[in-house]
Amino acid sequence: MIKEIKMPNLGTTVDEMKIVKWLKNEGDSVERGEPLFEVETDKATMEVESYLAGYLKKIVAGPGESVTTGSIVAYIGDKTDKFEGIFPIEPVKTEDKVRKPVEATRKISKAKVSLMIKKLAEKRGIDITKIKGSGPNGLILKEDIMNADVSTHTEADKGKLVEDARQDLPEIIPFSRVGTAIAKAMTRSKTTIPHVYLAIDVDAGAMKELYVSSGKKYSYNAMIVYSVAKCLKAFPYLAARYDEKGRIMAKEISIGFAVAKGDDLLVPVVKGITDSRNELARIEQDMTQLIKKVETGELKQKDISGGVFTVSNLGSYGLSSFTAVINPPEAAILAVGAIQDRVMAKDGGVFVRPMMTLTLSVDHRIVNGAYAAAFLKELKENLEKV
């Protein structure tokens, strides 16, 4: 018996996702729990497992198409099942109650159209009753909507196009899914989290020595993430999450680090960091792999989940310092400036030292200023003898 495969609820912050690729072809055998296709969510690419077993009979949402939770993406059945003539059809409703002759126009109630195609037609201002489906039994396909000429636009949409053409409107560049998620998260952060900012200067001499002596094996970012993780062991409140009943304490130390990709910002997470000296090599390896995933678009949901603290380094842009916005629901974020030679006075002498400014943003509901300052002081000491 042929059954529908619907888009499951993935627990993301948006309801609409984009199909990236299918991991099975029509006719392939599919096991329950086997990865079936990949989708791009607001933050990452995720594999979607099949909740049914059988043979993939028909894919109705191809790569690049947007789908929503609950929408039909494919059909699955037994090996001997025939799919011919079975389509996800829904009568298109109309407010026009005047019955028109069949020869003048097709009745809207007769149009075969999937929910996804109906939504696409609405977005493009296409009158779906004027589209002749090229699919089996007159099914209207995505190509039919995309190839529809201007004569199929609704009257209201035609008027809008003409009106827009008369106006010299500024160009609007839509946010990507990631950009939309970032905008929502940052608005939530600045409107619900009382930020407090503290800064401290760090002598990066020891860091530079380790960077050179290791043959550039250990990056400055890995050193900072490692030192932050060590300090969070001593200052666990900065790894906690806020709740009205109190602080929700972290079970393990996992540090996120901000990575820019075009106009978007992603925060992959290095998981389960301990204070072992051997962790530095593991952190460097994990960060390298995660950055590669960001660059190739292969970042998965598991790669961006579980962070309790974020590090953002803009030193490569030559910034001396900056303040960062906390990534909800975390309690803090560390902004790292460039390592720069500065003239420093010490013990009555004047020296030129490689210095770096760290700026910590903290949730004042979770920790007070003194607690955050003590954390920064210990972080400075750790980095100066890394």
Task: Read off the amino acid at residue 19.
Answer: I
Specify the CATH number for the domain of residue 261: 3.30.559.10
With respect to residue 297, please indicate whether it lies within any of the assigned structural domains: yes
Domain match, 221 and 275 both: yes
Tell me the pLDDT of the chain averaged across its residues. 84
Does residue 300 belong to any structural domain of this protein?
Answer: yes
User: Quick one: 308 and 187 in the same domain?
Assistant: yes
Confidence of residue 162 (pLDDT cuts 50, 70, 90): very low
Report pLDDT for 90: 41
Question: 308-333, pLDDT tens digit by residue?
Answer: 999 999 999 999 999 999 999 999 99
- Please give the residue that has the higher pLDDT: either 162 or 341: 341
CATH (domain of 81): 2.40.50.100
Type and span of the H or E element at 207: helix 205-213
Read off the amino acid at residue 240.
Answer: A
Both 60 and 82 in one domain: the answer is: yes
Q: 126, 141, 165 — which closes off a domain?
A: 165
Per-residue pLDDT band for 267 (boundaries 50, 70, 90) equals: very high
Q: What pLDDT, on the 0 to 100 scale, is given for residue 88?
A: 45
pLDDT at 137 over 60: no
Q: Domain for residue 170, yes or no?
A: no
Residue 172 within a domain: no
- In this structure, the answer to whether residues 150 and 218 fall within a common structural domain is no
Answer whether residue 186 shows pLDDT above 80: yes
Residues 27, 55: contact at Cβ < 8 Å?
Answer: yes
Question: What distance in Å separates the CA atoms of residue 152 and residue 221, rounded to the nearest whole number?
Answer: 55
Q: Is residue 20 part of a domain?
A: yes
* DSSP structure class, residue 287: H
Contacts with 81 (C-beta within 8 Å, 6 or more apart), sequence order: 1, 2, 55, 57
- pLDDT value for 170: 55
Q: What is the dihedral of CA 273, 360, 239, 289, to 10 degrees?
A: -30
Tens of pLDDT along 249-260? 999 999 999 999
* Confidence at residue 205, expressed as pLDDT on a 0 to 100 scale: 97
Residue 211: domain span: 177-383
Whether 160 and 182 map to the same domain: the answer is: no
Residues 124 and 198 in one domain: no
At which of 105, 130, 165 does a domain end?
165
What pTM was computed for the model?
0.66
pLDDT at 8 over 70: yes
Same-domain check for residues 98 and 121: yes
The string of DSSP codes covering 348-375 is: TEEEEEEEEEEEEEEETTT--HHHHHHH
DSSP-derived 3-state class of residue 255: strand
| Same domain, residue pair 161 and 181 | no
Helix (H) or strand (E) holding 48: strand 45-49
Q: Are residues 37 and 78 in the same domain?
A: yes
Domain membership of residue 351 (yes or no) is yes
Last residue of a domain, one of 108, 139, 165: 165
pLDDT at position 85 is 52
Answer whether 130's CB lies under 8 Å from 167's CB. no
In a shared domain, residues 203 and 154 = no
- Whether 230 is covered by a domain: the verdict is yes
**Do 121 and 29 lie in a common domain?**
yes
3-state helix, strand, coil in the chain (%, to 5): 30, 25, 40
Q: Is the domain of 138 the same as that of 232?
A: no
- Domain count for the chain: 2
Indicate the DSSP class of residue 153: B
- 171 belongs to a structural domain: no
Q: Is the distance from CB of 256 to CB of 327 less than 8 angstroms? A: yes
Amino acid 322: pLDDT: 97
